Amino acid sequence: MKKAYYEEEGFVLYQGDSNKVIRQLESKSVDMIFADPPYFLSNGGVSCHSGKQVNVDKGAWDKGLSPEEKLKYNRKWLRACKEILKDNGTIWISGTYHNIYSIGVALELEGFSIINNITWQKPNPAPNLACRCFTHSTETIIWARKINGKRKGNHLFNYQLMKEINGDKQMKDVWLLNLPKKSEKTNGKHPTQKPEAVLERIILAATHEGDLILDPFNGSGTTGVVAKKLERRYIGIEIEKEYLDLTVARLKK
């Protein structure tokens, strides 16, 4: 097994290509996966941040691909994830229109069944500078389970807890949650960093204390930080040392 970049009880980080590292993990050992894969939108575009025009290029890992290349890429990492996910486990994948439709097709081709299509609505999105389309204010989170033969997995959903969190009403598939707080970026930030509130809801909805969570695109480690806080075990995989160090700093804080 590949040597861990960082390890403490119930929390492990690996540096490397997620497709290669995942294949070294034990088959059917993970209870839940959260993935925030590349959006493939770093093609010289611009956005608005703090009232200023900024470049949206995030790095070589986010460069645009053709539709065929996107599908091949998504099928490859999803295939690896399926092998280590328990039969009754689930996977959550976040994305925008740049990649989420390719991921939806890849999920079905790789033997997953979609449970929910969740819309994360951002109340404070960046304004649209071009003024030629509606302001982008949402991301999609797909929640899916494995299909085992002709049977769908008997997945965990903590329905009653979600109802209690939602004021004793059934929780809907549109979540109005803010972007990451300043306190979540005091040690540094990742260009696609998710707010802890989103991961907290996901982890509470689909796992129990002590369950094992995997994030194949660890980034700044939000999934791991929240998993640790909620007393879940965690494996994070990230190719960039900078973001692994950021994760460790956040964890120690």
**Does residue 142 lie within any of the structural domains?**
yes
- The CA distances from residue 71 to 16, 108, 132, 213, in Å, are 21, 12, 28, 25
**Residue 168 contacts residue 212 (beta carbons within 8 Å):** no
Residue 49's pLDDT band (cuts 50, 70, 90): low
pLDDT tens profile 124-140: 888 888 889 999 999 99
In percent, the amount of the chain with pLDDT more than 70 equals: 90
Distance CA 230, CA 237 (A): 20
Total tally of structural domains belonging to the chain: 1
Q: What's 62's DSSP letter?
A: G
The answer to whether 225 and 198 have CB atoms below 8 angstroms apart is no
Q: Which domain does 167 fall in, by range?
A: 6-252
What CATH number does the domain containing 93 carry? Answer: 3.40.50.150
Please, which residues have CB within 8 angstroms of residue 77's CB and are 6 or more apart in sequence?
18, 19, 22, 35, 37, 216
| Distance, CA of 86 to CA of 146 (rounded, Å) | 8
Query: Burial level of 89, CB count in 10 A (0-12/13-18/19+)?
Result: buried
Whether 1 is in a domain gets the answer no
* Band of pLDDT at residue 46, cut at 50, 70 and 90: low
What are the residue ranges of helices labelled H in 136-240? Answer: 159-165, 196-206, 222-229
Average pLDDT over residues 184-202: 90
Domain presence at residue 212: yes
186 three-state secondary structure: coil
Confidence of residue 149 (pLDDT cuts 50, 70, 90): confident
Q: Is the residue at 114 inside a domain?
A: yes
Among 66-75, 79-88, 134-143, 187-196, which is the least confidently predicted range? 187-196
Q: How many CB atoms lie within 10 A of CB 191?
A: 13
